[in-house]
Amino acid sequence: MDITTLEKVSDFEWIIQQTGEMRVPGILYADEQLISEMDEKVREQVMHVAALPGIVKASFAMPDAHWGYGFPIGGVAAFDPSNGGVVSAGGVGFDISCGVRTMLTGMTAAEFAPYKDNIAHALFRNIPAGVGSTGEIRLSPNEMDGLLLNGAAWAVHHGYGTAADLERIENHGKAPGADPTAVSEHAKKRQQDEMGTLGSGNHYLEIQEIKEIYDEEIAAAYGLALHELVISIHCGSRGLGHQVATEYSQKMLLVTKELGILLGDRELACAPILSPTGQAYLGAMRAGINCALANRQILTHLIRQTFKTFLPHLELPLLYDVSHNTCLEEEHMIDATTKKLFVHRKGATRAFGPGHPELTASLRPFGQPVLIGGSMGTASYILAGTTQSATRAFSSACHGAGRQMSRTQALKHWRGREVVDDLAHKGTTILTRSYRGVAEEAPDAYKNVNAVVEATHRAGLAKKIARLAPIVCVKG
């Protein structure tokens, strides 16, 4: 991106001044190097989002921003329904509620070492992954509707985990306002055999070692200790979420034409929040969130079962689960007035700060855990939401490293077997059903996650707490 087209506010904040059809400015949080490496398409998409009806304050891009469908991935925008605000399926994304869940083990890497190979291969056998992967769960139509209505709470009720898990999940494991009737039968059919599966692409299950602690007090409150292991899951709503996004993008395109809403890009197709199409999409999207939350809850149960085969007394409590492809109704201060807004976070993580009433009591004094997945074989991070983030970008932070190379380009640079061997040499065991997929997800196909997290920290969006390094990674 041409940095001369931006106005510098600080070393980590840049403005695209309001011009043309833009209703608000664009704000990018990143350092100069990350900005210069972003595609010009990011600036263009930030500007197009800024022109949507009812947008509030600014169109934001996080430090990991890159070109996406309609919105940039790493894009954040809030809309006021009382002022004609819209909801956009492209502003949420196709993998609705794709997110990260992290569990604590309480055991060190040294204590785990004798079990590493056996547990790694058991996880590979027990956790379905890959394109079109299916699990052992078969849902009836009534069961599917119950799952879409109640999310992780449905999974816990059916024996997949405990009630304590729900206290450590965004929105306590259930998106309110979900409407299973707004989800097509085709979308439900795509999902009926996919619960409890990882999927493919950048989704993974990792066992990670805590390599560095930046804030001892918050780390202790989160249950993090140096050299102990955590387990992270990165996946979403699978076929159902993709189908919901596909169908409603088409419906919204018709609405924008009927209402004469001008779009800089047809991929930004949207509908007024208070319109029938807008309400139907929100109901379906929330059902997609519940699908993803239930999926990660079932995976948590499968992981716990696998570990207990070797380590019967290991509990694996949940640290947190947070999504990064959502549109959530939240209260935010705008010009000294509290307003209910609909916050799109596409490839961005909610990051509520200390004292926020939605956080469970044990986390409220410290802020929400913000789980940042790295590219395969590189560091991941745990951050904490900050108070100032609410005034920066509606309590939002980055979600990962962010791609800097397309999957097609990656295939021209790497071979999957070579990537696996190289990472094994560095101490990371990769288990995969697709070497092609590994090549597409090669670490260097992504931005430098350390730089992305540092920019997030320095911009005040979220605070660094711990750095993690993978020792086992199960890929689709």
The catalytic residues are: 399
Query: What is the SS3 assignment for 379-423?
Result: CEEEEEECCCHHHHHCCEECCECCECCCHHHHHHHCCHHHHHHHH
CA distance 254 to 256: 6
- Cα dist from 353 to 11, 68, 115, 399, 401, whole Å: 23, 28, 38, 16, 22
Those residues with Cβ within 8 angstroms of residue 185's Cβ, 6 or more apart along the chain or in another chain? none
The alpha carbon dihedral of 256, 258, 261, 264 has a sign of positive
CA distance 455 to 302: 36
Length of the chain: 476
Interior CA angle at 218 toward 443 and 399, to 5°? 30
- DSSP run (H or E) holding 240: helix 238-259
CA distance 31 to 13: 7
β-pairing verdict for 55-66 and 26-28: parallel
CA distance 455 to 158: 42
CA distance 454 to 460: 10
CA distance 321 to 216: 21
